[in-house]
Amino acid sequence: MKWAWALVLSLLIVVAGVEIAGYFLPSRLDVEREAVIAAPVDSLYAKVADLQGWEEWSPILAIGDDLETGVAFLGPPSGLGAQMEVRFGDVLKVLFTVVEAEEPIRFALNSRSGDPSDDLLAGSGFEGWDEFDLEALDASRTRVRWRRTSSEVDSYWLRVIDTVAAKPQVASQLEAGLVALAKACGAPDPEVTEPEPERASGD
């Protein structure tokens, strides 16, 4: 029976280790990427602010992989209050709402699925934000910064999952999205990086 006690003890150590690690990790997801795109700021803002054109470039609509993705547009056609409802099969439904639209420099969406007061687990409920800041460097080049954040996560286990699994996945989505956005504007592939500290968004 010594092996059984050793197994139990090992499991307890692992659980305690994850809990301790989660305590020191950020309580919400926060990922940011930027790129200098060879296109005028007005052209880029028009692409970002047109929800009905997101299928052309946004990786958000490809999250479901092999799931059948359905998209519906609600509310006004553009600007504050415009909404996009995305269904990934019978697994997940996400409602995106425009909460900021300051042409041509800032655009932001709120996203909700299920009850945001629930901890994130298997898509049971979450709230997040996608923020775009655009800075015209000259008449034909624009710096685009894309930041995605989530609501607070109380579970230390989920904080570990966010850090180990979700954060790299989101970073890849933002990087792919900025490259696709450049292509949609007829620009060459940009270099996508994390923002320099002086340009990173703050709370």
User: Looking at residue 164, which CATH number applies to its domain?
Assistant: 3.30.530
> How many beta carbons lie within 10 A of that of residue 89, not counting itself?
13
In a domain, 77, yes or no: no
pTM confidence score:
0.78
As a whole number of angstroms, the distance between CA 120 and CA 99 comes to: 22
Beta bridge partners of 108: 100, 131
Domain holding 41, by residue range, is: 2-51+104-193
Number of domains within the chain: 1
As a whole number of angstroms, the distance between CA 187 and CA 122 comes to: 37
Q: Encoding tokens for residue 36?
A: 């200098």
pLDDT by position in tens, the chain (length 203): 665 555 544 554 544 444 444 333 455 678 999 999 999 999 999 999 999 999 899 987 765 455 567 889 998 988 999 999 888 777 678 899 999 999 999 999 999 886 555 444 444 567 889 999 999 999 999 999 999 998 655 565 454 555 555 778 889 999 999 999 999 999 999 999 999 776 666 55
